[in-house]
Amino acid sequence: MEAYSGVHADLFDHLNHGRLEQYRSDVHALRSAWPSDTWDEEWDGPVSIHHDGSVLAIHLLP
């Protein structure tokens, strides 16, 4: 299995320079722009399933 992840360049720049609080703040501010379709009520986050079998599922951790 191979796994890849992508992140917006500005967010990656925060991580690359150790600005974790700025990264967290920006990610939370962008959350309202995420797709609203969810896998189920307990997951509470967007899920993307492609024809090639790849899956991306995102949700906030408690």
Q: Is the pTM of this model over 0.85?
A: no
Distance CA 19, CA 28 (A): 14
Domain ranges of the chain: 9-57
| pLDDT for residue 47 | 80
Q: Give residue-wise pLDDT tens across range 1-56.
A: 455 566 788 888 999 999 999 999 998 888 777 666 666 777 777 787 778 777 77
Q: What share of the chain is helix, strand, coil (3-state, %, to 5)?
A: 35, 10, 55
